[in-house]
């Protein structure tokens, strides 16, 4: 897999209507390519305005299939297709208690909040203070006040609201941090980019009574997990 080429920074010039059209086109494309399969995820992708989660100098590229830089060390907002890729495989749905490790821009947390709805809960953790503040402002401006935002090392999870039905790690790790497995319900699912054999695979884990079932989805490319469970 190749690295990503970030487009050059520029003054934003697109209108809200242009972004809306691009968002609708993107959702059609994601359905056509099999990334979006369920109605809650489709509705969330149509509703959340991705451009509101992107730094001004990259805003015009909001719906391009590239990750874009965020304030902070190595932080990026992932490509549009990666959100339904993670959330459809997780089976994220209404009423779920969802934990995200790697808040980034706040876009993924906003989408998850739309999917789980008022009976669910979203907790998201970010290790980088600059990135955390950027996401917090984005989410406040966009009106997402029920998401629990935590500044800290997501490898340790957030036991205060555990157990979680679904967990998503948005940074690449060599192994799943054990506290996250402990904080997953039996029957729950966790998805993460795992570094193995010199590449990264997106892997889905399903927690049984006595075992963790592992399914490789596809090759991906993510920034590395930082903090206490960081590994090379
Ligand atoms: C690919 S970005 C996340 C994209 C994000 N989900 C979004 O919607 O914009 C990965 C994020 O994980 C964060 N991160 C890395 N290690 C972390 C850790 N141990 N705990 C919490 N966040 C971490 C990075 O700072 C970065 O913001």
Enter the tokens of residue 68: 């874009």
30 CA → ligand 1 middle, Å: 23
DSSP state of 142: H
Q: Could you tell me if 202 and 222 are in contact, meaning their C-beta atoms sit under 8 angstroms apart?
A: no
Protein residue with least CA distance to atom 15, ligand 1 = 225
Write down the pLDDT at residue 1.
46
Catalytic residues, by residue number, are 78
From 94, 105, 64, 96, select the one nearest 81 (Cα to Cα).
64
C-alpha–C-alpha distance, residues 171 and 110, integer Å: 18
C-alpha–C-alpha distance, residues 116 and 185, integer Å: 16
Enter the tokens of residue 223: 């920034």
Rounded to two decimals, the pTM is 0.97
From 166, 231, 178, 154, select the one nearest 204 (Cα to Cα).
166
Pocket of ligand 1 (CB under 6 A): 72, 75-78, 101-102, 104-105, 107-108, 125-128, 131, 153-155, 170-171, 222-223, 225-227
- Per-residue 3-state assignment (H helix, E strand, C coil) for 13-27: CCCHHHHHHHHHHHH
Helix (H) or strand (E) holding 112: helix 107-116
pLDDT tens, N- to C-terminus, the chain (232 residues): 457 788 999 999 999 999 999 999 999 999 999 999 999 999 999 999 999 999 999 999 999 999 999 999 989 999 999 999 999 999 999 999 999 999 999 999 999 999 999 999 999 999 999 999 999 999 999 999 999 999 999 999 999 999 999 999 999 999 999 999 999 999 999 999 999 999 999 999 999 998 899 999 999 999 999 999 997 6
């Amino acid at each position: 897999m190749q690295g990503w080429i970030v487009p050059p920074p520029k003054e934003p010039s697109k209108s809200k209507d242009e972004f809306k059209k691009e968002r609708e086109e993107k959702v059609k494309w994601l359905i056509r390519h099999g990334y979006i399969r369920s109605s809650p995820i489709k509705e969330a992708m149509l509703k959340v305005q991705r451009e509101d989660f992107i730094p001004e100098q990259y805003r015009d590229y909001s719906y391009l299939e590239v990750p874009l830089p965020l304030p902070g060390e190595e932080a990026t907002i992932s490509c549009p297709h990666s959100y339904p890729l993670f959330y459809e495989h997780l089976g994220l749905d209404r009423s779920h208690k969802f934990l995200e490790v790697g808040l980034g821009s706040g876009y993924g947390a906003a989408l998850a909040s739309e999917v789980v709805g008022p009976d669910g809960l979203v907790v998201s953790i970010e290790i980088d203070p600059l990135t955390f503040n950027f996401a917090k402002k984005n989410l406040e401006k966009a009106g997402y006040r029920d998401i629990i935002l935590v500044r800290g090392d997501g490898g340790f999870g957030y036991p205060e609201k555990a157990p979680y039905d679904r967990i998503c790690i948005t940074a690449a790790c060599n192994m799943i941090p054990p506290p996250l497995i402990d904080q997953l319900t039996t029957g729950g699912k966790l998805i993460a980019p795992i570094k193995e054999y010199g590449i990264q695979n997106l892997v889905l884990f399903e927690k049984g009574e006595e075992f963790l079932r592992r399914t490789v989805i596809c090759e991906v490319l993510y920034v590395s997990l930082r903090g206490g469970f960081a590994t090379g």
